[in-house]
Amino acid sequence: MTWSEEDEKAILDTIDKFVEDEVKPIAQEYDLEDKYPHELVESMKALGLFGATIGQQYGGLGLSARVYSQIVMRISAAWMAPSGIFNSHLIMAAAIERFGSEEQRLRFLPRMLSGELRGALALTEPNAGTDLQAIRTTAVRDGDEYIINGAKMWITNSLYGNGLAVLVKTDPDAQPRHSGMSMFAIETKDANGNCLPGITVNKIKKTCYRGIDTAEVVFENFRVPAENLIGGVEGKGFLIAVGGLELGRINVAARGAGIAQGALDLAVRYSQERETMGKPICQHQAIQLKLGEMGAKVEASRLLIEQAAKLYDKGERCDMEAGMAKYFASETGVFCAQEGMRIFGGYGFSVEYDIERYYRDAMLMCVGEGTNELQRMIIAKQLIARKPI
């Protein structure tokens, strides 16, 4: 089934209502207390967000990346953190759906789309972030199982979720390095919610992106069935990880644009309420210059995201376009949050005002899913490759 424009509008209207009724009222409290939004997760299950991009043949909504990015923007404009709960989950689902066997799809995806199995992508390590080929986590074959040892860092959904797509080295001596990497879909907890033997999860305290379970995951002789090797063939892990990052970068771009839109909305409203020198500050040229630039950058971010999402939906290569969207929109999130803080003046530093949360959250988008320095390198290399002389 293909969603009509009316269907898509109805979905986005439902998301808007969800944001107004359930996200906005708790955002500041849950952020400041670093409290996990369990009730919000249940609502997201009911809305089908955990199956948003999973194919309809497996029971998911099968939404396009274009519509999905709009959902992310709307939620992030109120509170960025919850979007990470289903984004990380859907990247794992996409890895299984795009690269897994049919048996793996049928085994994992129906449980993932319902939220029964909530997962994430476990790539980053204490000494390996942007350079994924430097990972040290290993998986050694032992009969019908693999034994995993190593540690992953900054893993969303690892404390309250129960599944991971884990990037490992199955051949640490392989050259080129990426040819020795594989990825496993694993379940991390038993029916009672306890970590399985060989897995330890340690929550990380953060200055931003609070309320969400970001943690270190340590594997010590953790055994996983060989049938959980995504695609059934060793050496494909790097390809799977990079493929998942395209959707991830579109999502991060949407989150950055959402932060930017939210900061802009707050600034426009506050500038009409706050008065100096006998008139609202929105009538001062200095404030108008800020609002004008913020507004233009938000709209430019939307167009870049839409361009990348359309290519992704067509199944075309979009690493440059996703990189452009991620780079520009995340930097726009930082810019708009910072300008918003300037417009709010001293009140921006009070936790009674949401703008300080946007300011804290924005910088994460410049680092997550590949640093913006890396994005510019990807963009440059693709420009050169596409226009050789």
- Asked if 308 and 324 touch (Cβ cutoff 8 Å), the reply is yes
Collapsed DSSP state (helix, strand, coil) of residue 146: strand
| End-to-end Cα separation, the chain, in angstroms | 44
Rounded Cα distance between 253 and 248, Å, is 9
For this structure, is 369 an active site residue? yes
Indicate which residue of 22, 321, 339, 369 is catalytic: 369
- Evaluate whether 132 touches 241 at the Cβ level (below 8 Å): yes
Q: What is the CB-side half-sphere exposure of residue 195 using CA atoms within 13 A?
A: 15
**E strands, the chain, in order:** 121-122, 138-142, 145-156, 163-169, 181-187, 199-203, 214-225, 275-276, 279-280
Tokens (6 digits) for 169 = 């080295």
CB-based contact 190:155 (threshold 8 Å): no
Neighbour count for residue 172 (Cβ, 10 Å): 14
Of 191, 170, 195, 189, the residue nearest 180 (C-alpha): 170
**Active-site annotation, residues:** 369
